[in-house]
Amino acid sequence: MPAKIDLHSHTKFSDGYFTPQELLEKVSEKNISVLAITDHDTVDAIPSATSLGNNLGITIIPGVELSSQDGERDLHILGYFVDIEDEKFKKYLSLFKSERIKRAERIIKKLNNLGFEITIEDVLSLSETSVVGRPHIADTLVKLGIVKSFYEAFQKFLGNNAPAYEKKYYVSPQNVIKIIHDAGGIAIIAHPGALPEETIGNLIKDDIDGFEIYHPAHSSEQMKYYEGITNNYFLYGTGGSDFHGGTRSDANNIGRFYTPAGTFESMKRKSLERYTANF
C-alpha cells in the first residue's frame, strides 16, 4: 500500500480540538505514515508530536501556517521543513502570538460593550500556548452560555463585519515567504480556492514554492486548475486534510487528501538545499 502523506493538520496548540497524542492516534487509524503539523503561528506542538510519532511509526514534518494578505484577500501560507530553533523564525512567531492576543483583547472589549461578561483569561484557558484566534473566543462564548453553538458565535458576533469583528495582524505574502525560506522551509499557498490570475502571478514572482491542490474545500475543477499551474511553472502541488476536529468535525477528510510521494521527496531535497545554503 502506498504511503499516505498528509501535509495539513492542526492541534490544540492553535485552533485544533485535539492534543498531539489524540491527533496522532486518529491519524494512525487511517494508515498515514507522514504528517505535517501546521498550527497557526506556532510550532510548539512539534517536539512532543515528533516523539509520539516515532512510537507510532509516523514521521512528523515540522510545519506552520502563517497569515498574510493580498489587498483585501486573506492568504494563508504553509511552511514545511522549517527549522523551529531558528532565532529569527522564533522572533516572528513571538510577534504573531503577541498580535493575536491584542486582537483577542479588542474583540473581547467589543463583546463587553455589547453587555457580555467574558475575559481574556476565559479565552486563554482554552489555548495551550496563548496562540488565540476567533475559534477560541467562539468556544468560550458557547462555554459561558452566551451562544448555543460555534456557528452562532460567528454568525452573531465574530464573523467578518459582525459586531465584534476585528482585523487580524498580517505580514505581506512576500515577507511570509521570506520568513519561511530563511528558516530553510518550503512555502506553499494553503487552500488557494479561486485566486485571481494576477495574484497567482504575483506569488510566483515572489518565489512561492507551490500551491495546496488536494484539499477538502476544493472542487475537482479547482484541483485540475492548480495541477495545471504547478506543472506549467514547475512548482509543488501538495495536499492534506486540514484536520481540526471537535465541533468543527472533519474526521472523514483524514486519509482522503494527501501529497504524492514524489512531490514530498522533492520538497524534502529542496529544503535540505535551502537549509544548507542558509548556513
Q: Which three cell numbers stand for residue 141?
A: 462564548
β-pairing verdict for 186-189 and 210-214: parallel
Domains present along the chain, CATH in parentheses: 4-86+183-278 (3.20.20.140)
Whole-number Å distance between alpha carbons of 1 and 205: 38
pLDDT at 1: 56
pLDDT at 214: 97
Residues of the chain falling short of pLDDT 50 = none
pLDDT at 279: 61
Say how many C-beta atoms besides its own lie within 10 A of residue 259's C-beta.
27
Residue 108 CB burial class (10 angstroms; 0-12, 13-18, ≥19): buried
CA end-to-end span of the chain = 38
Whole-number Å distance between alpha carbons of 215 and 212: 7
Residue 122 has phi, psi (to 5 degrees) of: -60, -40
Q: Which three cell numbers stand for residue 77?
A: 501560507
40-96 pLDDT, tens digit per residue, is 999 999 999 999 999 999 999 999 999 998 887 889 999 999 999 999 999 999 998
Q: 161 — alpha (psi -120 to 50), left (phi > 0) or beta?
A: left
pTM: 0.90
